[in-house]
Amino acid sequence: MIKAIRNGGLKRGAQAFFEHEASGGVVLMVSAALALVLSNSHFSWMYDALLGTPVVLQIGALALDKPLLLWINDGLMAIFFFLVGLEIKREIMEGRLSSVRKAASPLIAALGGMIVPALIYIALNWEDPAALHGWAIPAATDIAFAVGVLALLGSRVPVALKVFLLALAIIDDLGAIVIIALFYTSHLSLSVLAIAAVGIAVLCYLNYRGVNHTAAYVVVALFIPLRTTGENEESPLKRVEHGLAGWVAFGVMPIFAFANAGVALHNLSFEDLFGGIPLGVALGLFLGKQIGIMGFTWAAVRLGLARLPDGATWFQLYGVAVLGGIGFTMSLFIGTLAFAGPEQGAAVRLGVLAGSLMSAVLGYVLLRNALSSSPSRRSTSGGGQASGVPMQAGSPGD
């Protein structure tokens, strides 16, 4: 009897944890902290060996042979971006990004969040031509980590503010991809771009013909239909979004965090932070992001080009702007493209870690204080569904 009660209590406790909106963020942060500890301990060789494990997928002569880390970042995280795409499409079509004025806010904010950090980095490294090559490192926002910190605050965060951060980070990442293509890539494959264009044309045609079977759109979230022809027919987009939310929150994102947060800090000291590269990256992320996002958004609102997210205050928006300084994965990736030397690579890691940690801590504190003075709410989007992606908890397979 006692055992049954105890088991029942554990089951209810586990269910309550997974249903709490902040639980996904907690799991994400624990995974990141574990990776950071392991990579700077005597067990770092195990961590490196795990991520370097070769994983081979082969069909006949066609083979993909990549280390586990790349399978996680290039394969598993595609599920995360797939779900993000569903969220953004729903908000654009019938939610809080459905008008030009609403959608303008994250676009303008993202531009400011890319321009100002780059200018700060350039100003601090102006006299070092080699260091200037890393000007784009602080221009990127890490969607997964920024959203994970926001998720720690649970349902008190207005849904429109969550969507603003998602849209800002996505636009920011798209901008980073363009920068990589233009400034850090020696060759663009026109044949691959042509194949992608053909694929988009086919997906547009499927939408035009009213094809609602999700299998036809499984690789591109923005083309999954939101609306249906039948009055009582379930929306394919909302069905997929709800089904994936728990798996992303408690599976994809924690694995991603564990694989990418293990930044080795061996042989680095506090004094090293004041070199041109690490200081430019750290201040670009921590100061440049918040100045750029807030400054551009304030100017756009004053000029009537954009509006604040529904239900959000300037103080809350400032907290989100600070979270935009969590650069981590994309910043580290650009750093590997900008610098090949181990000494410069260590400087980049130090700057990214310092800027991202300061942004995460201050952003969380600011938002916690800003939301504590606001009435608790649980908003839903235009589609009548709680904001999805990793911000909504829900056990896998719900």
User: Does the residue 291 lie in any domain?
Assistant: yes
Mean pLDDT rounded to a whole number for the chain: 79
Q: Domains in the chain: how many in total?
A: 1
**Does 398 score more than 60 pLDDT?**
no
User: Does the residue 65 lie in any domain?
Assistant: no
Cβ proximity of 120 and 283 under 8 Å = yes
User: Does the residue 19 lie in any domain?
Assistant: no
CATH number at residue 277: 1.20.1530.10
Question: Which CB contacts under 8 angstroms, 24+ apart, belong to 230-237?
Answer: 235/383, 236/212, 237/86, 237/89, 237/90
Structural domain span for residue 299:
98-238+263-376
Cβ proximity of 243 and 88 under 8 Å = no
- In angstroms, what is the C-alpha Rg of the chain? 22
Whole-number Å distance between alpha carbons of 10 and 343: 49
User: Does the residue 288 lie in any domain?
Assistant: yes
Would you give the end-to-end CA distance of the chain in angstroms? 30
Ramachandran bin of 275, using left for φ above 0, alpha for ψ from -120 to 50, beta for the remaining angles:
beta
Average pLDDT value for residue range 238-242: 75
User: Which secondary-structure segment (H or E) carries 155?
Assistant: none
User: Does the residue 28 lie in any domain?
Assistant: no
Average pLDDT value for residue range 263-277: 77
Would you place residue 365 in the very low, low, confident or very high pLDDT band (cuts 50, 70, 90)? very high
User: Does the residue 221 lie in any domain?
Assistant: yes
Q: For residue range 13-31, what is the model confidence (pLDDT) as tens digits? A: 666 666 655 677 778 778 8
3-class SS letters over 329-351: HHHHHHHHHHCCCHHHHHHHHHH
Whole-number Å distance between alpha carbons of 172 and 238: 25
Q: Which of 1, 39, 11 is nearest to 257 (CA)?
A: 39
Among 220-224, 233-237, 327-331, the least confident range: 220-224
Would you place residue 97 in the very low, low, confident or very high pLDDT band (cuts 50, 70, 90)? low
Overall pTM surpassing 0.75 (yes/no) = no
**Does 394 score more than 50 pLDDT?**
no
Ramachandran bin of 311, using left for φ above 0, alpha for ψ from -120 to 50, beta for the remaining angles:
left
Q: For residue range 135-173, what is the model confidence (pLDDT) as tens digits? A: 999 988 887 788 888 888 877 888 888 888 888 887 887
User: Does the residue 384 lie in any domain?
Assistant: no
DSSP assigned state of 36 = H
- Between 28 and 123, residue with greater pLDDT: 123
User: Does the residue 252 lie in any domain?
Assistant: no
Average pLDDT value for residue range 354-375: 88
Would you place residue 322 in the very low, low, confident or very high pLDDT band (cuts 50, 70, 90)? very high
